[in-house]
Amino acid sequence: QLQLQESGPGLVKPSETLSLTCTVSGGSISSSSYYWGWIRQPPGKGLEWIGSIYYSGSTYYNPSLKSRVTISVDTSKNQFSLKLSSVTAADTAVYYCARSRSSHHAFDIWGQGTMVTVSS
């Protein structure tokens, strides 16, 4: 059974770079049938898609975050990662990694989420 697990610092200082990794277990990240994405949710608010990556490394990002976001994949470790630069308090959120099917781009498997707070 495929599982996703987010990991990374829970506290990041303003202006620094937020870095998270999603480890995929129980299946291969190199499947041609799926994309791998990051979604976030500020406390008490709705969901915001950050970006997605294919196992080949091709990416697509939310235009509103594109200038600050880098998503990468490491197929040898079955992981993909998120970097968000120049963070502010507005980037405080629960960050989820998730799998989407390339046939319809809905996210069918999600990690449990990790809370990241931006504060000095």
Partner 1 sequence: DIQMTQSPSTLSASVGDRVTITCRASQSISSWLAWYQQKPGKAPKLLIYKASSLESGVPSRFSGSGSGTEFTLTISSLQPDDFATYYCQQYNSYSLTFGGGTKVEIK
Q: What does the binding site for partner 1 look like in residue numbers (CB under 8 A)?
A: 37, 39, 46-49, 52, 60, 62-64, 96, 98, 101, 104-108, 110-113
Q: Output the smallest distance, CB 35 to partner 1, in A.
A: 10
Nearer to partner 1, 18 or 37 (CB): 37
Q: Output the smallest distance, CB 66 to partner 1, in A.
A: 10
Cα separations in angstroms, 12 against 18, 44, 86, 118: 6, 20, 10, 5
Per DSSP, the residues of 51-87 read: EEE-TTS-EEE-TTTTTTEEEEEETTTTEEEEEE-S-
